[in-house]
Structure 1
Amino acid sequence: MGPIGVTEPDKAKQLADLEARIKAAKGGGESRAHQEEHYSMAQHGWRMVTELVAGLGIGFGIGYGLDSLFGTLPIFLVLFTLLGFVAGVKTMMRSAAELQKGQSAQEAGEDERTNDGN
């Protein structure tokens, strides 16, 4: 039994109001998903930059080491720095392809969900 003076229709109305407020509160989650997606894109961007810099750094280090070891002009330094740059760009392109593949798979999954609802 409920409190005195509260009828069943009043309880139903209160429950409906509560459900409406819950739905309104959950509607704010869409902006969070967009922010998380944006943050994820920033992470991918930094990953690609790091891959490029790492390739350059490793190539520079190997070239400098070989030049020091052999006492040559900066031939190896230039050669391995360029090879490191090429390796970094190649790794960046592979990461970009993975990201694009993941996004197209995610979009295909969203399309399937929207088509199932029709």
Structure 2
Amino acid sequence: MASLDEKIAAMKAAKAPPKRHQEEHYSQAQHAWRMVTELVAGLGIGFGIGFGLDSLLGTSPWLLVLFTMLGFAAGVNVMMRSAKEIQEKRLAETAEEDEGNTHGD
């Protein structure tokens, strides 16, 4: 019975439709927007903190510039981590597909 279940599962996997190009493109667009949002959020938060501190301390525009730069750096850092995470996920998926192809023969 177990071997019959394995054969049925193998047949279903073989007949599974390939991933459509539109779905892949949509996924890439999601990742791109995520990265843009992270960068803009870093800039916005840095700008807000710098503007607030400049208003309180009267050091205009020095803290605004400083914290905007720090916000940009933080945004880029988060973007790079997201890109690395996405790359590792894709490499793991590719490795699984390759492993499945070698064992399926």
Smaller-chain TM-score range? 0.7 to 0.9
- 1:43 is matched with 30
State which drifts further: 80-89 or 69-78: 69-78
User: How far did 1:34 drift?
Assistant: 2.2
Matched residue, 1:117: 104
- Counterpart CA distance in 2 for 1:84 and 1:73 is 17
**1:82 corresponds to which residue?**
69
1:30-49 C-alpha deviation (Å, 9 max, x unpaired)? 3x632111111110000000
**CA–CA distance in structure 1, aligned partners of residues 26 and 70 of structure 2:** 31
Q: Give the 4+ runs in structure 1 shifted more than 3 A.
A: none
TM-score (norm 2): 0.81
Q: Report how many aligned residue pairs link the two structures.
A: 91
Unaligned runs of 5+ in 1: 1-25
Max radius of gyration: which structure?
A: 1
Q: TM-score, normalized by length of structure 1?
A: 0.73
